[in-house]
């Protein structure tokens, strides 16, 4: 009986926390396959743990997932043994697809997505990256971060501060903007609702007058929360993996199927809800974004 209760508890933890943890891991690792593998390992450890000793399953999983990410980052850094050079990375990315993306699309995609990924992933030390993502983006307390990185709370405060300063000092026109906490929470609910195929949950975060558009069909506009929610779930309900990236005052969601980038969505917010969803599905633009994800690893 105890075994059955534990299995049910773990199944519920998976349903409620997996999408959140993959989003968190992706922010640190920048690779959807690695993020999913790390979260899978975290749940494997949860299965082997004594559930009676765990008061807060999400908190426990956040610490374990973050530690696994930190180990992975350190291992990757030691394998590469190369200095951080954001400018060189930018040049490599721009050169990877010359003339393939319209300048207007570079403003939307290049500055928003590349800087959000690369300033954090390439310009910070492993511990700084973890402290920054956990505290500044996911609003985790420093006590939790201290458990993750194995340092004192004051040391973790300093790590986050140094990360913030490096990002602010980065010579880039599209510096990373975390965005309001409210937007992150709405985005988290949006991703969770898609993962669960939860129509009511999706309607909660959509403005009644929300509109949906996609670049490959500029003449097609979906209007109203009910229609936008149903359309979104018809493509992404319980399918693939969605992760978020801050993009100025808005948020970009990257959508993966079988670990391949399949679409990107730019979310616009107003009064605590999503007022517009613009989809990017053009293969050329997605190839440009995929090149960025590959190049930053």
Whether 131 is in a domain gets the answer no
What's the confidence (pLDDT) of residue 120? 54
| φ, ψ for residue 273, nearest 5 deg | -135, 170
pLDDT by 10s per residue, the chain, length 297 = 456 777 889 999 999 999 999 999 998 998 999 999 999 999 999 999 988 899 999 999 999 999 999 999 998 765 554 433 434 334 333 334 444 444 444 435 544 444 445 545 667 899 999 999 999 989 999 999 999 999 999 999 999 999 988 877 764 544 455 567 888 899 999 999 999 999 999 999 999 999 999 999 989 999 999 999 999 999 999 989 999 986 656 788 999 999 999 999 989 999 999 999 999 898 988 887 777 676 555
Domain count, the chain: 2
**Residue 152 falls inside a structural domain:** no
Pick from 81, 107, 125: which residue ends a domain? 81
Domain of 60, in residue numbers:
1-81
Looking at residue 80, its pLDDT comes to 54
Structure tokens at 206: 């959509």
CATH number at residue 289: 3.10.450.50
pLDDT of residue 236: 93
Domain end, chosen from 56, 81, 106, is at: 81
Instruction: Establish if 93 belongs to a structural domain.
Output: no
Strand partners, 293: none
Identify whether the C-beta of residue 252 lies closer than 8 Å to the C-beta of residue 276.
Answer: no
44 in a structural domain: yes
Residue 72 belongs to domain with CATH number: 1.10.1740.10
End residue of a domain, out of 62, 81, 100: 81
In a domain, 212, yes or no: yes
85 in Cβ contact with 47 (< 8 Å): no
Q: Cα 35 from chain centroid?
A: 10
Q: Does a structural domain hold residue 56?
A: yes
Query: What pLDDT was estimated at residue 111?
Result: 47
167 within 8 A of 119, measured Cβ to Cβ: yes
* Cα–Cα distance for residue pair 190/253, rounded to 1 Å: 10
Residue 166 lies in a domain: no
User: Do the beta carbons of residue 207 and residue 225 sit within 8 Å?
Assistant: yes
Is the distance from CB of 230 to CB of 242 less than 8 angstroms? no
Query: Does any domain span residue 103?
Result: no
> What are the CA-CA distances from residue 7 to residues 1, 43, 58, 60, 206 (Å)?
10, 12, 16, 17, 34
């Amino acid at each position: 009986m105890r075994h059955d209760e534990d299995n049910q508890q773990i199944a519920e933890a998976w349903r409620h926390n997996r999408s959140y943890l993959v989003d968190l891991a992706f922010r640190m690792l920048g690779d959807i396959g690695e993020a999913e593998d790390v979260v899978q390992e975290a749940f494997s450890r949860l299965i082997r743990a004594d559930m009676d000793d765990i008061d807060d399953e999400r908190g426990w999983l956040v610490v374990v997932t973050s530690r696994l990410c930190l180990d992975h980052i350190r291992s990757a850094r030691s394998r590469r043994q190369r200095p951080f050079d954001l400018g060189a990375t930018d040049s490599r990315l721009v050169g990877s697809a010359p003339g393939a993306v319209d300048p207007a699309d570079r403003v939307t995609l290049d500055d928003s997505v590349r800087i959000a990924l690369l300033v954090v992933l390439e310009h910070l030390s492993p511990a700084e990256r973890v402290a920054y993502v956990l505290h500044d983006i996911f609003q985790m307390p420093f006590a939790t971060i201290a458990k993750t990185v194995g340092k004192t709370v004051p040391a973790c405060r300093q790590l986050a501060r140094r990360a913030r300063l490096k990002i602010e000092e980065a010579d880039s026109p599209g510096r990373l903007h975390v965005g309001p906490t409210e937007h992150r929470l709405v985005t988290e609910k949006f991703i969770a609702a898609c993962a669960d195929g939860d129509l009511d949950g999706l309607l909660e975060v959509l403005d009644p007058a929300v509109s949906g558009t996609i670049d490959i069909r500029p003449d097609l506009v979906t209007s109203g929360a009910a229609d936008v929610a149903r359309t979104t779930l018809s493509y992404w309900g319980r399918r693939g993996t969605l992760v978020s990236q801050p993009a100025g005052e808005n948020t970009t969601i990257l959508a993966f199927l079988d670990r391949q980038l399949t679409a990107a969505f730019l979310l616009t917010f107003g009064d605590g809800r999503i007022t517009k969803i613009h989809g990017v599905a053009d293969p050329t633009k997605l190839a440009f974004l995929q090149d960025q994800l590959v190049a930053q690893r």
